[in-house]
Structure 1
Amino acid sequence: MRLALSDDGPALSPISPLREMGAYEALWLEKGATFKTLAEKFATDPSALPSDFVSPGTADQCAAEVMKRLKHAGVHQFGVRIHHAGDYPAKLRDARHPVEMLYFRGTWEISETRCMAVVGSRQASDDGVRRAERLARELVGRGFTVVSGLAKGIDAAAHNAAIAAGGRTIAVVGTPLGTCYPKEHAGLQEEIAKRHLVISQVPVLRYSKQGPPQNRLFFPERNITMSALTEGTIIVEAGETSGTLTQARAALHQGRKLFILDSCFHRKDITWPARFEAEGAIRVRTPDDIWSALG
């Protein structure tokens, strides 16, 4: 049992994280539910908890099903962060459609350190991988936590380099905690969960009831949360239609720093670097461009 906290800190009423988890999952099972529609629902009552919109019986039934599914997937210990229920990161409210609940495995306190996202293409070039690794090492050396999305290419390079350098890393995944994509990163995800932090905003039951084409939409949405959790985002390389650009737009909207490596501006097959630079992104010619902007 946890205490719900007011914005000023004092306890208002006891709540059950398990029931709130189940209620939030139940809301996701409603027809047409999206991050946008749920954010709009909660915007009508800024003090509402998920259980204010769902019957106790339905919430408890969904919670039991979530626990069963996660246990079957090998997830025996995890936590949740619920808006208005204490320890929820206030910086998430900067998102256009902020999530009301997050799942996590690992050490939550890592999210409270200085965090920078390093992201980019899944089909990364060799130079891109080397740049991501170098950035991760330098961030670790300056005391930052390296945040990325556990995808192939740039993401995996950033996570692995941060770990190898003895630093901290956070994986913000586009699947429920009990699922890994790509599958070959299952070992990396488990290592981060045990020694660092894995965060998921993906509803377990909704994910289980729809197919890959619909579930793919959770990936760009997690980029928005990744941006909100960090001080800034560094784009190493990305194509013209990359999901990474969702994070770029989110960073600018949320008032976060957006850094784009100079190598991106020299590519003839993409136009987004100049577009985002005109909107306030910082062109990184040397690492000092990052450190001076962060202060």
Structure 2
Amino acid sequence: MQLSLGSSTDRIPPERDLMREMAAYEALWNTPDASMRKLAALFARHPGQPPSALVAEHDIAQSRQQLQALLEGTVPPGILLHGTPEYPARLRDAEHPVELLYYRGDLSLLQTRLVTVVGTRHPTAEGLARTTRLVGLLVGDGVTIVSGLAVGIDAVAHRAALVNNGRTVGVIGTPLNHTYPPAHADLQETIARRHLLISPVPYRRYARQGYQQNSKFFPERNRVSAALSEATIIVEAGDTSGTLGLAHAALYQKRKVFILDSSLSDAGLRWPRRLEARGGIRVTTYDDIRRALQL
């Protein structure tokens, strides 16, 4: 792929062709060593430039053709592109800001108060019950629940929001036309149709890689969740849980991180005290969350 550097006056026009920008962005992912970190650094070196200013025209055309084939028969994605009014400015707080994201659903949910509720894929019965109660209280206070559609705490958080007639945002680690795990296909479609589904994952790169390489997109999904939300609540997690990466990203982005007392009281866990030492907030009752967020 050839890199084409546009002039400093190049900007996305008012009548911007977002599909073209998507094709250019996906073309940037076509190099073998592309990553969120490297693409963020590329755009940082060329501030204000849209993806199409950094990619040769023939690469954009080829990428667009391949994308059309990949998306045939699926619901076309909406596009959140840095530099457009719809793109949430708070995403720039991430260590490696994502330049372009894909979505389906109601973008107005990004204007509501967003709190991420996450935890282990292997929760205890008590953890599931705590998630259900906590989400019910948050929804009652007008909060939109963000989670990652994973097995365990994530799925329960989404479902509890739906049962309580609340709002929920799913941030996933696959392209919008994939579901992981497959058993959550109905839940993901419900969120996409009635609420909001977001993905930072490029379609073409994902389609040509294996599972092991694609699994690296899940930590990136966590960083997006942390950036979108004003706070993250960890309901239950082990010391090696991927959830902790989300918590560290949230603290890096100066977001609040809540740790339930049940985790801090567990002598077998190291992470709760480590996060508390970095600024995590201990939660003994829901009022602790309410006060910290001024709900």
TM norm structure 1: 0.93
Question: For 2:166 and 2:72, how far apart are their aligned partners in 1?
Answer: 29
Task: Flag the 1:104–1:34 CA change in 2: closer, same or farther, 3 A.
Answer: same
Partner AA of 1:48 in structure 2: Q
Native 8 Å contact 1:18 1:60 kept in 2: no
The reply to whether residue 103 of structure 1 matches residue 93 of structure 2 is no
Question: For 2:256 and 2:105, how far apart are their aligned partners in 1?
Answer: 26
Question: Who is 1:276 aligned against?
Answer: 275
Matches within 5 A, 1:6-21: 14-21=15-22
Question: For 2:169 and 2:13, how far apart are their aligned partners in 1?
Answer: 32
Partner AA of 2:192 in structure 1: A
Give 1:268 deviation, angstroms. 3.0
Question: Who is 1:86 aligned against?
Answer: 85
Partner AA of 2:101 in structure 1: L
Question: For 2:38 and 2:226, how far apart are their aligned partners in 1?
Answer: 20
Question: Who is 1:185 aligned against?
Answer: 184
Give 1:61 deviation, angstroms. 2.3
TM norm structure 2: 0.93
Give 1:45 deviation, angstroms. 1.4
Task: Flag the 1:11–1:20 CA change in 2: closer, same or farther, 3 A.
Answer: closer
Matches within 5 A, 1:110-129: 110-129=109-128
Give 1:15 deviation, angstroms. 2.5
Question: Who is 1:24 aligned against?
Answer: 25
Partner AA of 1:61 in structure 2: Q
Give 1:290 deviation, angstroms. 0.4
Q: Deviations over 1:12-32 (max 9, x none)?
A: 654310110001101111120
Matches within 5 A, 1:253-272: 253-272=252-271
Native 8 Å contact 2:12 2:50 kept in 1: no
Q: Secondary structure at 1:15's aligned position in 2?
A: coil
Question: Who is 1:168 aligned against?
Answer: 167
Native 8 Å contact 1:35 1:97 kept in 2: yes
Name the % identity: 50
Q: Which runs of 5+ in 1 are unaligned?
A: 1-9
Native 8 Å contact 2:121 2:153 kept in 1: yes
Q: Secondary structure at 1:65's aligned position in 2?
A: helix
The reply to whether residue 144 of structure 1 matches residue 121 of structure 2 is no
Question: For 2:293 and 2:60, how far apart are their aligned partners in 1?
Answer: 43
Partner AA of 2:123 in structure 1: A
Question: For 1:216 and 1:27, how far apart are their aligned partners in 2?
Answer: 19
Moved more, 259-268 or 160-169: 259-268
Matches within 5 A, 1:187-206: 187-206=186-205
Q: Secondary structure at 2:22's aligned position in 1?
A: helix
Q: Secondary structure at 1:252's aligned position in 2?
A: helix
Matches within 5 A, 1:220-239: 220-239=219-238
Native 8 Å contact 1:232 1:259 kept in 2: yes
Question: Who is 1:5 aligned against?
Answer: none
Moved more, 227-236 or 52-61: 52-61
Question: Who is 1:245 aligned against?
Answer: 244
What is the number of equivalent residue pairs in this alignment? 284
Native 8 Å contact 1:115 1:144 kept in 2: yes
Question: For 1:12 and 1:206, how far apart are their aligned partners in 2?
Answer: 27
Question: For 2:135 and 2:76, how far apart are their aligned partners in 1?
Answer: 28
Q: Deviations over 1:189-223 (max 9, x none)?
A: 00110100000000000001110011111111111
Question: For 2:68 and 2:133, how far apart are their aligned partners in 1?
Answer: 39
Q: Deviations over 1:40-80 (max 9, x none)?
A: 101111111111111122113212322321234xx223200
Q: Deviations over 1:137-178 (max 9, x none)?
A: 111100010000000000000000000000100000000000
Partner AA of 1:240 in structure 2: D
- The runs of 4+ residues in structure 1 deviating greater than 3 Å are 10-14
Question: For 1:129 and 1:289, how far apart are their aligned partners in 2?
Answer: 20
